[in-house]
Structure 1
Amino acid sequence: MTISVLLIEDDPMVQEVNKQFIKKIEGFTIIGVASTGEEGLKLVKDLKPDLILLDVYMPEQNGLDMLNKLRNEGSRVDVIAITAANDRDTIRTMLHNGARDYLIKPFKFERFRQALQDFKTYQEQLSGSGSISQYELDLIKSNGKPMSKSSGEQLPKGLNEQTLRQILRYLEKQEDALTAEETADGVGIARVTARRYLDFLQKSGQVKIEIQYGGVGRPLNRYTLVSLSK
């Protein structure tokens, strides 16, 4: 997937810096550059970009007015604000009108790359048709980083988001609690791998353990999803 980018920025030096930044990030291509909000509106209609990188302080029509006009016209094009405007009212207004991220000048390349890569992940995960589960949606909203309800713990090293989503999706479809072995067989991974993911999900409060006694041998741990509303 290649994401088309429209850059709207009135400062030629900043334009060039942002162009060079974009060229360093795989999966993005610049299809147009505008120096004013009026010019930007025309290019949005003509070029139909996937993403706009939008400044706020511009002549003729600023970024706030441009984004507001786009939304009033029904445009759902995604926007990342890149601006020196750091007052709360401007930030709140831009986010309210659907800016997916907000970068305050000056910023480092790593923050710029993070914004674009997060957007690319978001696009890939929501592309296509069909339904997704609440757990998958929560992962998308958190940029693929499942968080502990209480501690904000991120996904540990060695675990990946795709396998975690597969496990969550599989557990969500089950009516009964499952063992690590049953989960591993259902998802198609090793039992020790399934146990690592289940242990993480249990510690982060996303699954609960039911201990099953009886029979010969050690008791079995069975895992089931818990409600996100709890």
Structure 2
Amino acid sequence: MKNKNQINVLLIEDDPMVREVNKEFIESVEGFRVVEVASNGEEGLSLVKKLHPDLVILDIFMPKKDGIKTLQEIRKQKLETDVVVVSAAKDSETIKLMLQNGAMDYIIKPFKLHRIQQALEKYRKYRVSLNKTETVSQEQLDSLLYSEHVKNRPETLLPKGLNEFTLNEIKVFVQTQEVPRSAEEVAGAIGIARVTARRYLDYLEKSGVITLDVQYGGVGRPVNRYVNIEK
């Protein structure tokens, strides 16, 4: 019989070595148990239907059925499981597509142990918060959805005119670029006005998420470009 506090995980990963390492990482977090593993999307989808896991840890580049099609099938068939993506894919289109299809988190390989621990602890909090009551207040929901935002910045509300979805889109775009990007380039990629992009970029820069790279060259004013803080 399943422990009611235990979170059952299905790991879908085609590389045997990575699969074993990820399994150890997952089970190092108290309360999480890998109940089965799959080496491709077709096998994984079959196991989701059979085992009804609480959480699927999903790779993208796999034979037979890749992670994108697997997640889309999970949603299409209305299978009740949550998904966290762990993949080497870091292009913004793939990340955006997986998030649009309901992935709760996206971890880019290679990653450190604390990153997957962070994802699993956040998922545990999400499950506990939504399972212990039939109704949730706006404050509880905000704390749940924006826990990292709340933890890292005491002013839990975004400045007027900014929203969390667009903020995350811009953050992901900048963090997946190999070179610094200007506000105009970010605006074109996201589909918003340059002045709007500049407001989001300034906010992210002041929050320490991205960094400013002032580039001088030729005649005219220097160009402000933005880059992932880790680059």
Q: Same fold (TM over 0.5)?
A: yes
Whole-Å Cα distance in 1 between the matches of residues 122 and 94 of structure 2?
22
- Aligned counterpart in structure 1 of residue 45 of structure 2, from 34, 41, 44: 41
Write the mapping of 1:1-230 to structure 2, written as runs, cut at 5 A.
1-143=5-147, 145=150, 147-148=154-155, 149=157
- Normalising by structure 1, we get a TM-score of 0.63
Residue 137 of structure 1: SS of its match in structure 2? Answer: helix
- Normalising by structure 2, we get a TM-score of 0.63
Whole-Å Cα distance in 1 between the matches of residues 27 and 158 of structure 2?
39
Percent of residue pairs identical: 47
Whole-Å Cα distance in 2 between the matches of residues 77 and 42 of structure 1?
13
Aligned AA (1:96)? Q
Gap regions ≥5 residues in structure 2: 160-231
Would you say the 8 A contact 2:49–2:79 is kept in 1? Answer: no
Whole-Å Cα distance in 1 between the matches of residues 158 and 54 of structure 2?
36
Whole-Å Cα distance in 1 between the matches of residues 120 and 158 of structure 2?
29
- Quote how far apart the aligned CAs of 1:49 are: 0.1
Aligned Cα root-mean-square deviation (Å) = 1.5
- Quote how far apart the aligned CAs of 1:79 are: 0.3
Q: May I ask how many residue pairs the two structures share in their alignment?
A: 151
Moved over 6 A (4+): none
Residue 118 of structure 1: SS of its match in structure 2? Answer: helix
Gap regions ≥5 residues in structure 1: 152-230
Whole-Å Cα distance in 1 between the matches of residues 61 and 80 of structure 2?
22
Aligned to 2:190: none
Residue 147 of structure 2: SS of its match in structure 1? Answer: coil
Whole-Å Cα distance in 2 between the matches of residues 135 and 23 of structure 1?
31
Would you say the 8 A contact 2:52–2:80 is kept in 1? Answer: no
- Quote how far apart the aligned CAs of 1:120 are: 0.5
